[in-house]
């Protein structure tokens, strides 16, 4: 079975500071990896995904994540955050084969303060 | 440009009164999912449809049912809502199983 660990439940940072949201996973098979963002009282929006190819993936709003197979990690980073980045971020993995479904981490609440 | 639409966005119901939540998609995806998300928790998969094939998660209560009358629409029926069923309900779609899931804005259900 797959599992996803987001060690930090809350991450407070100041505006324009860099941020890293950590995600580690455990799986016996190859996986697809995702980061979703959820703003208050809204659904999940896909932020970025790793399916294959380059291990560094980027979103249109400045976030990036790097797939590290040896460390089974997919940490999310942004060099300079904005107040509008305040939201909950969910890491998720989907095994490439078998019947298991998308598995989410418990989420990290990012709060950007002025 | 809305791709996954959920109605209503907010739903208030009474304890024990049946309620139906609606999801529609313009993506022509084969798979539609329903998730329950309680406050400060990760989404929890209730069930999904692959085309017309219904797949229930083992721990989904019998109180929750679903219908998919056609490719575009999927409904979540809660037969007798309890206070513990108050949550955000998220619909998602994917072209095929294992592919990227796209979520709707969610319906927040309040049970009085």
Q: Is A106 on the interface with B (CB under 8 A)?
A: yes
Q: Give the gap in angstroms from C-alpha B88 to the nearest C-alpha of chain A.
A: 8
- A4: tokens are 């996803």
CA-to-CA dists, residue A91 to A36, A53, B33, B87, B102, angstroms: 6, 19, 18, 20, 14
Give per-residue pLDDT as tens, B2-31: 699 998 999 999 999 999 999 999 999 999
Give per-residue pLDDT as tens, A43-55: 899 999 999 888 9
Which of A53, A74, A51 has its CA nearest to residue A63? A74
Rounded mean pLDDT, A61-84: 95
Q: Do A41 and B108 touch (CB under 8 A)?
A: yes
Q: Is A29 on the interface with B (CB under 8 A)?
A: no
Q: Is A46 on the interface with B (CB under 8 A)?
A: yes
Q: What is the CA radius of gyration of chain A?
A: 14
Strands (E), B1-112: 4-7, 10-13, 19-25, 31-37, 44-50, 53-56, 64-67, 73-78, 87-94, 102-103, 107-111
Q: Do B101 and A102 touch (CB under 8 A)?
A: yes
Could you tell me how many CB contacts below 8 A there are between chain A and chain B?
A: 45
Give the Cβ contact number of residue A41 at 10 Å.
11
Residue B63: its pLDDT value, please?
95
Distance CA B93, CA B28 (A): 9
The residue count of chain B comes to 112
- Quick one: B22 exposed, middle or buried, by C-beta within 10 A (0-12, 13-18, 19+)? middle
The DSSP code for B59 is T
Q: Is A32 on the interface with B (CB under 8 A)?
A: yes
Q: Do B106 and A105 touch (CB under 8 A)?
A: no
- Average pLDDT along chain A: 92
Asked whether A90 and A42 are in contact (CB, 8 A), the reply is: no
Q: For testing the chain A interface, which of B33, B39, B43 should be mutated: the one with the most A CBs within 10 Å?
A: B43
Asked whether B105 and B76 are in contact (CB, 8 A), the reply is: no
Q: Give the gap in angstroms from C-alpha B59 to the nearest C-alpha of chain A.
A: 14
How wide is the angle at C-alpha A16 spanned by C-alphas A12 and A20, nearest 5°?
Answer: 50
Q: For testing the chain B interface, which of A44, A47, A105 should be mutated: the one with the most B CBs within 10 Å?
A: A44
Name every chain A residue with its beta carbon within 8 A of the beta carbon of B90: 43-44
Distance CA B59, CA B31 (A): 20
Q: Do B43 and A41 touch (CB under 8 A)?
A: no
Distance CA B30, CA B95 (A): 5
Give per-residue pLDDT as tens, B36-69: 999 888 999 999 999 999 999 999 999 999 999 9
Element (H, E) at A22: none
Contacts with B, A 77-96, CB within 8 Å = 90, 94-96
Rounded mean pLDDT, B88-93: 96
Asked whether B111 and B15 are in contact (CB, 8 A), the reply is: yes
């Amino acid at each position: 079975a797959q599992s996803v660990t987001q060690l930090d439940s809350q991450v407070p940072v100041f505006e324009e500071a860099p941020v890293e949201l950590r995600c580690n996973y455990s799986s016996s098979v190859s996986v697809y990896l995702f980061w979703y963002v959820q703003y208050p009282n809204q659904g999940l929006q896909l932020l970025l995904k790793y399916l294959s190819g380059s291990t560094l993936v980027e979103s249109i709003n400045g976030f990036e994540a790097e797939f590290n197979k040896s460390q089974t990690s997919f940490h999310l980073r942004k060099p300079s955050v904005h107040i509008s980045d305040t939201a909950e971020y969910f890491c998720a993995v989907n095994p490439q084969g078998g019947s298991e479904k998308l598995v989410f981490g418990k989420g990290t609440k990012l709060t950007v303060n002025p | 440009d809305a791709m996954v639409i959920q109605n209503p966005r907010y739903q208030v119901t009474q304890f024990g009164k049946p309620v139906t939540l609606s999801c529609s998609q313009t993506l022509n995806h084969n798979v539609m999912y329903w998730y329950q998300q309680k406050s400060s928790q990760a989404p929890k998969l209730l069930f999904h449809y692959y085309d017309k094939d219904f797949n229930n998660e083992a721990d989904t209560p019998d109180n929750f049912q679903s219908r998919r009358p056609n490719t575009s629409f999927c409904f979540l029926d809660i037969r007798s809502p309890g206070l513990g069923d108050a949550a955000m309900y998220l619909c998602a779609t994917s072209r095929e199983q294992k592919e990227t899931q796209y979520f709707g804005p969610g319906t927040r259900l309040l049970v009085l």
